[in-house]
Structure formats: structure tokens, C-alpha cells
Amino acid sequence: MKEKEEELNSIIMELRKKLEALQEKFTKEGLDKLEALDSLAREKDSKVAAERLQASLSEELKRTQQDSASANQKIQSLNDMYKRLQEYNTSLQQYNTRLQSEFAATNEMLKRVEKEKAAVVENLSTLSGHYTSLQEQLTSSRVLQDEAIKQKEALGNEVVCLRGDLQQARDDRDCWLLRVQTLSAEVERYKECTGKSFAELDNLTVKSKELESTCLSQSEQIRRLLEQLAFAEKKLQLSDVSAMETKIQFEEQKALLLDLKSRLADAELKIVEGEKVRKKLHNTILELKGNIRVFCRVRPLLSDDDVGTDAKVISFPTAMDALNRGIDLIQNGQKHSFTFDKVLTPEASQEDVFVEISQLVQSALDGYQVCIFAYGQTGSGKTFTMMGKPGIPDQKGLIPRSLEQVFETRQTLQSQGWKYEMQVSMLEIYNETIRDLLATNRLGFDAPRAENMGKQYAIKHDANGNTHVSDLTVVDVHSSKEVSYLLELAAHSRSVGKTQMNEQSSRSHFVFTLRIFGINEVNGPFLLSVASWS
């Protein structure tokens, strides 16, 4: 107990020492805190003082700006006043020049007045001379008047004599008037006789003028007819020449047309032969690549694949003999290598996959039977590879891309005389039973029509080696949009279900068949091909 008590006392002493050290530390921290608060207060005061100083500086700056503005206004007003003084000085100078010009004009006017005064004095002197001469003329006119009175008296005597002569002349005039009246009566009678003759003469002149005008018009018509005849003869000669030239040109054009037709026939034959050679070479290339080729497409790893992030399960060899053709799988530490005709990595796009099989689509248009088969376990990406995602152009699958290529090629081959007819059928094999996906009721995708309830579909082979399903619905199509609608209809009719790999997985095998019937109206050969995607 004593030992325990001593141990407890020692522990209490240590605790007391620690408590004192903590109290000292607490007091030091309190002092530091107070100093920090004091420094903060001083910083706040200095900040407030700086803000006040900044405010005073801004006010002084504003006052200086106002003073400078007022000084600028005063300078502006002084400049305006100086301009007005200059304008007033110029106006005074103009007024001075105007006064000088008026003074010079007044001096000239005074000179003219003095000249006019001298002229008036000269006129007065000349008028006094005229006055004296007029007085002399008046005296001479009075003398002439006296002489005129004397002449008047002599003329009066002569007038009396002339009046007697005038009476004698009047009597003679009356005699002559009587003779004139008799002669005028005779003239009237003569005029009547001559008037009749003049009327007849006028009628004759009118008739002669009419005959002359008729002759002139007829001669003019004859002249015009002669000119028309000459022009017609020239035109006939020119038409004969042009007809000969036209005939020569027609013969040349006919020969050229025959030559072009022969060339066209040769070109068409060459085109047909070239098309045959192209088909043969294309088919030879595909045969060299392999009539049956197996591609492997690796999808990206998902979170549900239960593969660690550090573990590398799949790898692709880089050796030249296995580049883009080999794949290595590692399981339980063991490496398994596989080789295919082509290996598509997870980075490969839908376009990259389609490039590898696009030549098979051309073979289908050339008349060869083509089948593309996708195989893999549930959730491996078969539906994505074949159909893609609707509404996203970059992620379209093999079937939509192949259909686009088929219809585009059909459009280009129409210029060569080819006409194609397309037929589509779609079925699924579910639990070893064939279901026609295009024979469903439109009101309900999963409900079959009444006439299709008892149908039994059978797989048959004809003599040509073609395989078909009996009683299967076949639809004529003319565009890729129609096929897309049918694909959507078939997708709603398929049997799907939830699995551990996929939320909605296809539970059946889907077969899409496109039958292509082609005929060339120019060359005549008939073409039939069947392309199948499953």
C-alpha cells in the first residue's frame, strides 16, 4: 500500500507539473492572442487611416480636376474672346477699305459733276447762238409768208379754170361708162359660152389625170412585180444552194451519227466486258481473301466483368505474322493464343467494322450470295455490331450501313441500264421454332395475325442450292427508310429477356434476308443475289 501510495503521489506530482506547464502555456497563448488582437486593431486603424487618406486624395484629385476644368473653360473663353477680337479687327479693316473705296468714288463723282458743269456752260453758249439764228430765220419766214399769200391768190384763179375742165371731164366719163356697160354685157355672154367649154375641158383634164394615175399605178405594180420576181428567182437559187448544203450536212451528220452509234455500241460492249472483268476480279480477290472469313471483335471491359484493374486479361501481339490477326487471353496465369482473319480492338468504330465487309455488299449486287453471321455469348455486343444504336449516325450497325451502300450503288448503276428490285424478310429462331417477324399485327407487336396462327414454317432447299423458308412474309422495299421501319417493327416483335449480362437481351437468333433482283435492259443478262445478315 505504501508503495502504491508513493506511486500515486509521484503520479499526482507529475500531473501537477503538467497542469502548471499547461497553465503557463495557456497564459502564453492568451498573451499571444492579446498581442494578435492588438496588432489586428492597429492594422484596422491603419487601414481606416489609409482609407481616409485615399478618400482625401480622391477629393483633392476631384478638386484639381474641377480646377483644371474651370481653367480650361477660362482658356476656352479667352480663346473665344481673342477670336471675336480678330473678327472685329477684320471687320474694321473691311469697313476702312469700304470707306476708302467710297471716298474714291465720291472724288470721281465730283470730277464728273465739274465736267458736267463745264459742259452745261458750253451748252448755254451754243443755245444763245441758236437763239440769234432762230430770230434770223423768223424774219426770213415772214418774208416767205408774204410770198405764199401772193401765190395763193394765183392758185385760186387756176382752181376756177380747173373746175371747168373737171365738169367737161365728168361728161366725157358718163359717155364712156355707157360704152363700158354695153361691152361688159357682151363679155358676160362670152364668159357663159367659155364657161361651158371650160367645164368640159376640166372634165377631160380630170379623166386624163385619172388615166395617167392609173397608168402610173399599174406601171408601179408591174415594177414591183418584176422586182419580186427577181427576188424570188434569187431566193430560189439561194434555196437550191442551201438545200444542197443542207443535204450535204445531213449526209455528214448521218455518217457521224452512224459512227457515234457504232462507237457507243463498242463502248457499251467494253463496259459490259469491263463490268464482267470487274466482277470476276472482285470475286477473285474475295476468294483469295477467303470465301469464309472469321473476324473477332473485342468489346471494352465492363464493370460487371469481375476483372481487376491491374490484371491484363486480353492482349494483342505485335509480331508481323500476327499483327491485327492475333489475340492472347490469360486465364489462371496461363496464356492462350488465337488467330483470326482480322482482329478488331475495342477502339475500332462501327465504320472500321463496316469497311471490312463492304466488299461483300458489292458482291451481293454483282449477283453472288453473301451471308454475314454474328456469333457470341449473351452481352458480347452482337446486336450492337449488327444494328447499332438508332438515332446516332456514328454508331449505325452493319445492316443499316450495308443497306445504304446497296441503295446508293443501285442509284449509280441506273445510268448503265440496270434496274433492281429489293425484297426483305425477317425471322427469328426461338426455342427451335421459326417466327415470322413481319407477320405480326400492327396493333400489338407480340400478337400474331389470325391467318398466321396455324402456319408451320419449314426450311427448304431448291435445285440451285438456294435456301428459303416456306410461307414467310416477303416485303418489297424501295428505300433504306422503308427497311429501317421494318427493322424497327421486327425489333419490337422479337423475344427478349433479362440476363445477368444484359438488362434486355435477345433470346433468339435473328435472320435478316435481302433478295436483290437485277436486270439490265440494255445488255439483257438477269441477275439474282441473296444477302443475309444474322
325, 289 Cβ separation under 8 angstroms: no
d(CA 471, CA 439) in angstroms, rounded, equals 10
Positive or negative: CA dihedral 138, 142, 143, 144: positive
Decide which of 309, 324, 348 is a domain's last residue.
348
d(CA 356, CA 162) in angstroms, rounded, equals 153
DSSP tag of 349: -
Domain range spanning residue 435?
349-534
The reply to whether 529 and 397 lie within a common domain is: yes
Whole-number pLDDT of residue 533: 57
Whole-number pLDDT of residue 142: 73
**Domains of the chain: total:** 2
d(CA 59, CA 63) in angstroms, rounded, equals 6
The reply to whether 330 and 426 lie within a common domain is: no
The reply to whether 315 and 459 lie within a common domain is: no
Residue 444 lies in a domain: yes
Cell of 300: 471494352
Residue 474 lies in a domain: yes
Decide which of 313, 348, 383 is a domain's last residue.
348
d(CA 160, CA 150) in angstroms, rounded, equals 16
The reply to whether 369 and 506 lie within a common domain is: yes
The reply to whether 377 and 336 lie within a common domain is: no
The reply to whether 375 and 417 lie within a common domain is: yes
Task: Tell me which residue has cell 437550191.
Answer: 240
Phi, psi dihedral angles at 508 (to 5 degrees): -140, 175
Whole-number pLDDT of residue 308: 59
The reply to whether 516 and 461 lie within a common domain is: yes
- Could you tell me which of 357, 290, 415, 369 has the C-alpha nearest to residue 527? 369
483, 477 Cβ separation under 8 angstroms: yes
Whole-number pLDDT of residue 451: 44
d(CA 339, CA 321) in angstroms, rounded, equals 10
pTM listed for this prediction:
0.48
Instruction: Tell whether residue 379 is among the known ligand binding residues.
Output: yes
The reply to whether 450 and 534 lie within a common domain is: yes
Residue 114 lies in a domain: no
The reply to whether 343 and 354 lie within a common domain is: no
Task: Tell me which residue has cell 402456319.
Answer: 455
256, amino acid identity = L
Residue ranges for the chain with pLDDT beneath 50: 441-451, 497-505, 525-527
Instruction: Tell whether residue 381 is among the known ligand binding residues.
Output: yes
- Could you tell me which of 517, 521, 520 has the C-alpha nearest to residue 529? 517
Instruction: Tell whether residue 182 is among the known ligand binding residues.
Output: no
The reply to whether 527 and 425 lie within a common domain is: yes
The reply to whether 509 and 442 lie within a common domain is: yes
Cell of 185: 354685157
Residue 50 lies in a domain: no
CATH number of the domain to which 357 belongs: 3.40.850.10
The reply to whether 408 and 371 lie within a common domain is: yes
Task: Tell me which residue has cell 478638386.
Answer: 63
Residue 278 lies in a domain: no
Whole-number pLDDT of residue 183: 79
245, amino acid identity = E
Residue 491 lies in a domain: yes
Residue 441 lies in a domain: yes
Decide which of 316, 348, 380 is a domain's last residue.
348
d(CA 424, CA 531) in angstroms, rounded, equals 10
Residue 511 lies in a domain: yes
Strand 526-533 vs strand 370-372: parallel, antiparallel, or unpaired? parallel
Instruction: Tell whether residue 376 is among the known ligand binding residues.
Output: yes
Whole-number pLDDT of residue 499: 46
d(CA 534, CA 532) in angstroms, rounded, equals 7
406, amino acid identity = V
